Amino acid sequence: MSDPRRLLLPMLDHVRGKRSAVTCALKCDNACLGEVCNTSSNSYFRDVVSSELSRRSALGLGLAGALTLAFTGGQPAGRAEASSSFAPAAKLPQSKLDFTPIRPVDKLVDELTVPQGYAWRPIIRWGDGLFHDSPDFKLESQTAAAQARQFGYNNDYTDILELAGSAGKRAVLVTNHEYTNEGIMFSDAQVASDAAGTRAVARAAHGMSVVELERQNKNQAWRYVKGAPLNRRYLTDTVFEFTGAGRGLGSPRQRR
């Protein structure tokens, strides 16, 4: 009998690092579990770049120079006119954060691990209400109408923009909900009993959320403000207008 974990997590015990099996399934359909696609005698690009980067110190080249070698067939900078194209080694900026890096975390550990002396806490979760009339999140009976008034699913682009004149005490959290994964949003029973309904909820979980944040001072954690004037939900049918530098770019349909 096959291992049931393989049916749920096809990349289990296969991937390196902390990449989610869901990510592999959605991004490339578990391509690295199939046959090798490069059947020629040519090297993989990653191997060419890795080889050239390992020679960077010996050649005295910067990262740009190493990549140039990779794209030009690995020819050394033997000619004076060629050497001018190599960039000096980049100096990494010094971080203001002082911490000891964490040790590698076992892939079976399902928790966020931070360095000693640091703590984390969620600001907002999928389904949290953004407006005063937002219904409570109900995992087993979620509706599209409720989701449209709640924080969306799957945070891709995420940024906190401090509001001018607030002395760092107010900001807006802007989040792009790029895609949904109904396989882990809903139970099999939910999908089987109401496939159209779960698809509608998933559509409403796409889009963008703009959420107002506040804190007492810069040493305190942010918290989101339900019903704040700046809160917004942009859905697949939301009409909006570009202003400023983006105004007038693209077709009328793209500007909506």
Q: What is the pLDDT of residue 18?
A: 56
User: Which has more pLDDT, 6 or 14?
Assistant: 14
Model confidence pTM above 0.85: no
Q: Residue 11's pLDDT band (boundaries 50, 70, 90)?
A: very low
Q: What distances in angstroms separate CA 98 from CA 115, 119, 197, 218, 219, one per listed residue?
A: 10, 14, 48, 17, 16
User: Is residue 16 scored above 70 in pLDDT?
Assistant: no
Q: What is the mean pLDDT of residues 57-78?
A: 49
> Element (H or E) spanning 24, and its range?
helix 21-28
Q: What distances in angstroms separate CA 188 from CA 90, 144, 180, 230, one per listed residue?
A: 51, 18, 16, 37
Bridge partner residues of 213 (DSSP) = 171, 224
**Amino acid found at 13:** D
Residue recorded with tokens 């997590």: 9
Q: Of 5-9, 21-25, 130-134, 243-247, which range is least confident?
A: 5-9
pLDDT in tens, 219-242: 899 999 999 999 999 999 999 888
Q: What is the pLDDT of residue 174?
A: 97
Q: Residue 43's pLDDT band (boundaries 50, 70, 90)?
A: confident
Q: What is the pLDDT of residue 56?
A: 56
- Nearest C-alpha neighbor of 108 from the set 190, 181, 9: 9
Nearby residues of 76 by Cβ (< 8 Å), 6 or more positions away: 59, 69
Nearby residues of 75 by Cβ (< 8 Å), 6 or more positions away: 69, 82
pLDDT in tens, 143-188: 999 999 999 999 999 999 999 999 999 999 999 999 999 988 999 9
pLDDT in tens, 179-212: 999 988 999 999 999 999 999 999 999 999 999 9
- Domain borders along the chain are 4-33, 45-75, 139-240
